[in-house]
Structure formats: structure tokens, C-alpha cells
Structure 1
Amino acid sequence: MSEAADQHANAHTFIGAIDQGTTSSRFLIFNSLGEVVVTHQLEFKQIYPQSGWHEHDPNDLVNSVTTCIDGAIEAFERQGHSAKDIKAVGITNQRETTLVWDVRTGEPLYNAIVWTDMRSAELVRNLKKRLGASEINQLCGLPLSTYPSGAKLLWLLENVPKVKEAYEQGNLAFGTVDTWLVYKLNGGARANVFVTDPSNASRTLFMNISSLTYDEQLLDFLRIDRKKIHLPEIVQSSHATAYGSLAVSKLRGTPITGCLGDQSAALVGQKGFTPGLAKNTYGTGCFLLYNCGPKPVISKHGLLTTVAFDFGPGKRMYALEGSIAVAGSSVKFLVDNLGFIKSSSAISALAETVEDNGGVCFVTAFSGLFAPYWVDDARGTIFGITAYTQRGHIARATLEATCFQTKAILDAMEKDSGHKLTELRVDGGMCNSDLTMQIQSDLIGIPVNRPAMRETTALGAAIAAGLAVGVWDSFDDVKNVNTEGSTIFKPLVHEKESAVQFARWEKAVQMSKGWLA
């Protein structure tokens, strides 16, 4: 077959990707060249019962996904394709968000507690005082914080009688969003497909980071009785049969063959298959993953150790991760809460109305500070406001906040890995702003590489699914997917100037601590 004919055949091989995020669900259809053929998106309700609390209706997550699948298939068929042309579906999801349900009925017992939720702060402070607390990070790669889903489960067990009762009776099922979606999309309790992948399981506090199995020492420390709770089976991120097949929607019967937590999916979508490659996703939060190879590296500088992906023997990789709780959501805050601008897309234009931040520094610690600081009692704080300050200065300081935190994470990664990154690959909504990406490159002193097609998280899920069913046979087959039209941002500011700016940011971080009574 000629190369042109081969490309034509590839363009007519399709993979679906469910991208279940914090504020919306999407379904995308890719051809094997990595091109988006169709996409359908639907936002769903955000629930904030109290300050620092964040919930989702579990049924909204499933219903929004099935609505997106059906909407995308309708558009796909209008293009002359058939739903049968889609070989498989991959799933990528918000990770630490925690769900509990009754194994007998499949009905949720409480709203999903979202990864940003802070209600377990006091519980976590008490855990840190418990004997054995210092060993937890070595076992699971995570610090004790409100971030992992395990802390959210403990809160549910202590505060929701219905959850406690199900636990005592042995009827409690626990899962992250991937497990919940796979379970419900397969038909719920009837089919009982109850699985998770290592990239999601490594965010729970329950999984041993080396063996990829549930760890008795971790469960004992958290005082969780393994006999009273149903935990999903941990299976490979790319698997032809483990995730079952869709029992609902217009793709009924289509196999689900890939599953990755959203940040791992973005690393895969950026082709970060080998050690030393890194990506940063600028979404609701901001997540930087650095592929550190086939063995876990436990951070000494405030980073998480996570499973990047597990595609089978010889194809399991770990990552160092730095997480920023507030990135794109800080822009949304300016729109929704302060009325600065009419839409998030206008933030960059407003920031460009001024030459610099005018001395303003905005620590966007709405949910505390994540990596590499891990300060639960920090809160959002704006420093440096004077009579000179304009809206543009605050807009620029908002964008800069994410870039400063990214630099702090990269500095920590360099210390842990012993290697300086030579390029940062980027994706997510905020990276659409040329100004933000230029600020980022100036601060970190290395090029920032932005692909033309930025749906890399969904692409990663599609790659995981496609590898399981032979759409691609190896990593080499995927290397040239989505490589054309990249934009490279190179540093334009002297290193001394960026160091002065970063020192001011670090001072502001110190001053933002201690706001909780």
C-alpha cells in the first residue's frame, strides 16, 4: 500500500474518547492520525454547600457523558460515517473526585466530593499526628492532604450515616470517577464491571506505588477494614476486555479499552512515553507531569509520585507531579465573582492593556496551596494594590500566578530528578493565551511547546484505547500523531529579572499562610 493510501485508510479508522472533567463532560472522535473529527461538550451543575466544599451529582456525571456521546454520534453520522466505524472508546477523568454507592443497587449514597474540596482539612491534620504518618508518602507516593480521594472517603465514613451503615453491612462501594463511569456505562449493578486503572488508583492513598496493589499497611493506617468495603480491581490502563463495553447510548456494544486519569492522559497525548519528557496542563487546575521512568521516584521537595500509565509489561511509567489547585478557575473567578470581564477568553486582552503587573501579586490560594508548598491554611490574597492599580494589572497578576507556581514545581522536579528540563509541552484552556505562554517561558527560562491541536487529554485516552485494539501497535506508531503546527515560545527576559519577580512571588506565598482560624 502506498503512503498516501495508508494515510487515507488511517483517516477512516476512528476511536472515541470520553473526557469527564471538573466543570463539563465531552466526547471526542479521533481518526488514527490524531485529528478531531467530532466533539460534543456539556457543562453540568457545580454544587458548593459550604465554603471550601465542592460536590457533583453522580448521575449528572453519567448523564452528561451519555448525552455527549449521542450528540457526537449524530454529528458523526451527518458526516456520512457510521457508529460502527468507531473501534473502541477510551476514558479520561478528573481523578481524586470520590464516589460511594450501594453495591446491591448501584445507587449513589452521597454526592461526589470533588478533588478541590477542603472539608477533610481537620481530619487530615489529625492523621498527620497518627503513628506511622511519616511512612505514608514512601508507600503510596502521596502526602497526607485533603487532595487524595482517601481523605474524602474517611470524611464520608465519619459524617454520613448512610455511608457508615453501608460500610458496616459490607455493602459500600468506593470509586473514583473512572470506576463510576465504567460501572454505570456497562449497566451498573447488573453487569458489575468494577475496575480502575493505576493512574487513578495511585491518587487514593490505598495503592502501593511499587506493586500497584492495595496495601494493607496503608489501609490499616487509615483504619479501613478491607472486608467491609468494595474497592475496584486495578487493571492495566490499556486493555482489550477489562473495562467491558457500553450498554447505553448510541454506541451500545462498543468496547471500552482504555482508561487514564486526566493528567496521565495529557502526558500520553503529548507523547511523553519516555523518561525526561514533561507536560503542563492549564485547566481548572494546573498539572505538571514529568516522566521519571519505569521505577517510582519518591519526592523530597513537595511533589507527588504517581503512575503515568500502565500499558503492560515494559510499558509502565511513573511520573513526578506538581499540582496547582487554581489555574483556569482563577480566570473564571474574575468573570463570575468580580465581573472584571464578560468571558474568560478576554482575560489575555485585558492583561495586555498594561506593560507589567504594576507591582500587584495575586496568590490564588482559594483551596490552599498544592505542590510544592502544601499549605492547607493559605487563602487567596492580593498584594501590592495602590491607587495606580488598574483592572489590567490584576488580570495580568492572575495569569502570572499560575506561571509562578509552575516555575516552583519545575525547580522541585529538577532537584528530585537531578536533570533540568529542556522543553515544556503545554495544553489546556489557559495555554491559548500567547501572553501567558510567553510569561511562562520567560519565568522558567526554557522553550514552551504548544501543539496546534490541543485536545491532548482526550487524545491520550484515545491512544490508550487504540493501542489495546490494534489501531496503533506501538509507541513508535503514535510518535508522529499531532506534531504539525506547534508554536514554540522562547524566553525573552533576562534570568536575573525573572529571578527578582519569582522572589517577590515567594514572599507573597509566605504572607498568604495562616488564614484559617
Structure 2
Amino acid sequence: MSKPGEFVGSLDCGTTSVRFIIFDRHADIIAQNQLEFPQYYPHPGWHDHDATEIQEHAEQCIAAAVKDMVAAGWAADSIKVIGITNQRETAVAWSRKTGKPLCKAIVWTDSRTKNTVATFEAKLQDVGIEVEPGVWKKGPEPLRDITGLPLSTYFSAIKLRWMIDNYPEVAAAHEADELAFGTVESWVLYNLLGGVSTNIHLSEVTNASRTLLLNTTTLQWELSLVSFFGFRPSILPKLVSTSEVYGEIAAGPLKGVPVGGLVGDQQGALVGNKCLNQGEAKCTYGTGAFLLFCTGDEIVKSKHGLLSTIAYQAGPNAKPVYALEGSIAVAGSAIKWLRDSMNLISTAAEINDLAGKESNAGGLYFVTAFSGLLAPYWDPGAAGTLIGISQYTNPSHIARATLEANAYQTRAIIESMLKDSGTSLAHLKVDGGMTNGDLAMRILADVGGFTVIRPEMRESTALGSALLAGSAIGLFGWDITKPETLSEVNTKGSEREKGWEGWKKAVERSKGWEEGVSDTK
């Protein structure tokens, strides 16, 4: 006989895979399923996803995890609500008329839009933004003041502009007022709630705050920016909070179950790690690495290369909570590069063993600028750089320098956060695949000079969306705690600072390498 349960499902649509995890009220995992989906790299600097494949994989993961839950003896209706968390800046364009994608989705890591960014940088200088009726301001500051973001290839409005300019199907749909634009959570939710038959087009505020189109003070689309980028306002989704019921799933094993939490993956990890108060910080080490520092109900304008973003909004009428964010484009993907392209390791986990054969990197620094540098450097022309190579250098030094690269970039972001916020950081909570390595965490603590706290249950991103979804129907509280382990600082301060000075010199040598890049159709 099946046991009744009260569970929350979390659909985690990441950069390389989709997972569906079913949690009980103690944040223990009842069942889960994960599937990788294809990555497309048609030209240098390009990174595409097929949005239909993401949706198909999501539905398969849901079906498989529900099947496993039932096989374990739980009733099929035990899942009371689901949340969705997602890779954030990836841009999806689809037809409201057919419900189908009009082109491949452009992934957050993609850098094809460098010339598009240059065009709008010039427009900011020459024309500016209409900040009030008839009042125009020039330069980059008005954009930062409204959105908390700089112009960059990173954000989704720039990707959408490139789609309209380069894909005739997207341009035609935009002209005919049949275009729907969204980030991944918007696309997946659209399909789960019925697709073209219902045309429920929503986006929540953490994802919207990564588009270059949201006013982070009013939590509304900023029409002056919509006009600045040349978009029709009708292409944009309706804005919702991170914790409310958006509708019910239209088909499949969860038909009739409400979707009650939407959140960008990094903000989901912030919630899952319980970094809910001013001064608390987490970093997720996945394909890239993303460090969020909670600033409470205050928007902190960064003067040191960071982003001001929305952390979460715990209901339609709740005040938003804000964060400073620093993003590292290449983290776990550098380890995959060592595995797949350099053949130095056969599995990602082996990097810790290989790096552990040496006590230091032998004077080697690896600036992992495979697609430029993000925070706090913001140099799209930076190139990947291995510097300090000598006859003494061996594969173990390269492996260790790869782990140190993540630690040094983390330190660069944290130093900027401290300058912006005036608040010191006693510890950093971490999650993501790279945190499974004890050596990687020891290196992070030593390079950073702070305690690293690693949760025993490391599905923080999925847990965050589950907490938001459960809260939307009054099922879960926010007081769930899980065991944690600590990595303490062991390196002497003098050694740490010597390494830090070397890293800064290596970064300077990597900057500005790639110039005059042209878009390739």
C-alpha cells in the first residue's frame, strides 16, 4: 500500500543538465533524476542550446523521478508543489503563434555579441538614456543606476538584440508582434502550464534583473531601456515574485500540481544556503562560479566591478532583498578542459589527486579567461593564459594552478565586495560540483584567508527553489538546517600575499589580447 507524503519537487535547469529532485520537509531527498543535454558550439565564442531539448529533458526527468518515488512506496500525489531554478542569462526566443523556438537559445557564456555591445556603448555615449520625459543622460552610469549592471555580452537583452539583427525568423516575429522573449525559467514554465494553448508568459524578478531591462528599484520593466535596445514591450513576460503560485502543470505525471517557486540558480543557492541576511555570502562552483553577498533591503551600487542584483522576493507583496554579485565565467569548465582537451585527467574528480602530488603550483598561474574575464575585471578581450612555465612544470602543477585560479578569482570578487559594502566576511558558504574536492576547498580557504563552510547536502540550488515553492503554499518553513563541514585557513599571510601579487600580474598579462572581433553568421 502506498504511503501518503507531503513533498516538494525542484526542477533544476542548469547549463549542461536538467535535474528533478523531490524533497521532504526535512530537506532530505526522496528521489531524483538527472539528464545531460547537448551543447552546441558552431563558431569560436558561440555557445547554443536547443530550448526544445531542454524542455524534453525536463519532462523526462520529472517522469523518471516520480516513477522512482512511487516505486519506493510513496503515493503518486505526494508532490504538492514544484519550483523551477535555472541558468539565468541564457536567452530564448519563441513564437506566440506556434509556441516553438525561432532559433537556438544563446547561452550565458556566449561571447558572439562583442560588436553589439560596442554599438550600444557608443549609443550610450552619443545619445544616452531618457531617464525622465525629455531628460537624457549619457554614459554608462544611467544604465547601472537603473539595472545594477554594465553593458556586457553576459546579459540576455544583448543576446536578444543579436537574434533580431541576425536571424530573419526572429526579426519577422518581432515585426509581426508574435515574438515571445524569456530566460529559461520563463520558457520551461510556459510549456509546463500548457504552452501555446494557454500562452502563460511569466518571468520572475531574479532572472529579470539579469536582462538589462529591469528597474531593480520599482521591480518593473524599464520602458526607456526597452526603447533603447529597440524592443517592442509586448515581447516581454509578465513579472512575478520568487514565491507564489503561477499556475498548474497541464499534462504528465504531475498534472494539476501547482508551480509555486521560480528563481535564478545562483539566487536559489543563496536561499538554499540560508544566506538571507545582510553580510552573508555564498559561492556556487559549477560550470562557472557565482558569488552572492546579501545586502538586505538596500541596493548597494558597486564601484569596484560587481553587479547589484535582486536576491529574492518572498511573495507578490514582499519587499525585495538585494545582493552584490561577482561572476567567474570559467570554474568547473576549466577542469573539463583538462579532462577532455588536454587529457591530463580521465575524470573531473581526479584533479584533486593530481594537484595533491605537489605542495604548490611551482610558480605557475592559470588565468582561465576562455571567453574573457567577468567580475571584477570585465574584459571580454582577455585570453586564457598559463604563465610561469619552466622545465620544472609538470601536470600536477597545472592541475593545482587550475584549482588556484578559482580561488584567486573568488578572492578578487570578495575584496571588491568588502570595498563596496564596508562589511568584512568571516566565512564563505559554498556548493556545486567542485566543492566535493577537499583539496580544492583547502586551497580556497588558504588563498582567500577565510573559513569555507561546505554543507553536507550540496543541492543548495534545488533546495532554494523547493523552499520558495513550499513557502508559496504554506508547506515548508525556512528554518531547515543541514550538517556542514569547515575548511580552515592554514597558509601564512606572507605566503598568501606573495601568491596574490603574482596572480594580479598574470591577470594584467591576459587582458586585451583579443581585439577587433567581428560577428560571424
State the TM-score bracket (shorter-chain normalisation): over 0.9
Aligned with 1:187 (options 166, 191, 194)? 194
User: What secondary structure is seen at the aligned counterpart in 1 of 2:243?
Assistant: coil
- Measured after TM superposition, the shift of residue 319 of structure 1 is 0.5
User: What secondary structure is seen at the aligned counterpart in 2 of 1:239?
Assistant: strand
Aligned with 2:219 (options 212, 217, 220)? 212
Aligned with 2:284 (options 269, 281, 286)? 281
Contact 2:45–2:112 (CA<8 Å) still a contact in 1?
yes
Matched residues in 1 for 2:168 and 2:365: separation?
44
Deviations for 1:142-186, whole angstroms, at most 9, x for unmatched residues?
A: 110000001100101111111111111111110000000000111
How many pairs does the alignment contain? 498
Matched residues in 1 for 2:474 and 2:221: separation?
30
Aligned with 2:119 (options 118, 126, 131)? 126
Q: Does 1:408 align with 2:412?
A: yes
Partner residue in 2 for 1:478: 478
Partner residue in 1 for 2:494: 496
Contact 2:285–2:435 (CA<8 Å) still a contact in 1?
yes
Matched letter for residue 228 of structure 2? F
Partner residue in 1 for 2:514: 516
Matched residues in 1 for 2:331 and 2:251: separation?
34
Deviations for 1:82-110, whole angstroms, at most 9, x for unmatched residues?
A: 22011100000000000001111111100
Structure 2 runs not aligned, ≥5 long: 129-138, 516-521
Matched residues in 2 for 1:468 and 1:189: separation?
26
Partner residue in 2 for 1:487: 485
1:5-404 map, 5 Å: 12-130=5-123, 131-132=127-128, 133-134=139-140, 135-226=142-233, 229-240=234-245, 243-312=246-315, 313-404=317-408
User: What secondary structure is seen at the aligned counterpart in 2 of 1:274?
Assistant: coil
- Measured after TM superposition, the shift of residue 361 of structure 1 is 0.5
Matched residues in 2 for 1:13 and 1:506: separation?
51
Matched residues in 2 for 1:144 and 1:298: separation?
15
Deviates more, 1:259-268 or 1:11-20: 11-20
Contact 2:404–2:447 (CA<8 Å) still a contact in 1?
no
- Measured after TM superposition, the shift of residue 314 of structure 1 is 4.3
Partner residue in 1 for 2:519: none
User: What secondary structure is seen at the aligned counterpart in 2 of 1:399?
Assistant: helix
Q: TM-score, normalised by structure 2?
A: 0.94
- Measured after TM superposition, the shift of residue 76 of structure 1 is 0.4
Contact 1:322–1:372 (CA<8 Å) still a contact in 2?
yes
Aligned with 2:427 (options 423, 429, 436)? 423
Contact 1:451–1:482 (CA<8 Å) still a contact in 2?
no
Partner residue in 1 for 2:505: 507
Matched residues in 1 for 2:41 and 2:386: separation?
23
Contact 2:147–2:214 (CA<8 Å) still a contact in 1?
yes
- Measured after TM superposition, the shift of residue 443 of structure 1 is 1.6
Deviations for 1:280-307, whole angstroms, at most 9, x for unmatched residues?
A: 0001000000110112111111101111
Matched residues in 2 for 1:82 and 1:483: separation?
26
Contact 2:49–2:107 (CA<8 Å) still a contact in 1?
yes
User: What secondary structure is seen at the aligned counterpart in 1 of 2:512?
Assistant: coil
User: What secondary structure is seen at the aligned counterpart in 1 of 2:247?
Assistant: coil
Matched residues in 2 for 1:49 and 1:17: separation?
32
Matched residues in 1 for 2:380 and 2:216: separation?
24
Deviates more, 1:313-322 or 1:55-64: 313-322
Contact 1:105–1:189 (CA<8 Å) still a contact in 2?
yes
Contact 1:452–1:482 (CA<8 Å) still a contact in 2?
no
Partner residue in 2 for 1:6: none
- Measured after TM superposition, the shift of residue 512 of structure 1 is 0.4
Matched residues in 2 for 1:19 and 1:315: separation?
25
- Measured after TM superposition, the shift of residue 315 of structure 1 is 4.8
Matched residues in 2 for 1:81 and 1:511: separation?
58
- Measured after TM superposition, the shift of residue 221 of structure 1 is 2.1
Matched letter for residue 68 of structure 2? A
1:457-472 map, 5 Å: 457-472=461-476
Contact 1:210–1:295 (CA<8 Å) still a contact in 2?
no
Deviations for 1:247-276, whole angstroms, at most 9, x for unmatched residues?
A: 233111111000000000000000111111
Matched letter for residue 177 of structure 2? G
- Measured after TM superposition, the shift of residue 222 of structure 1 is 1.6
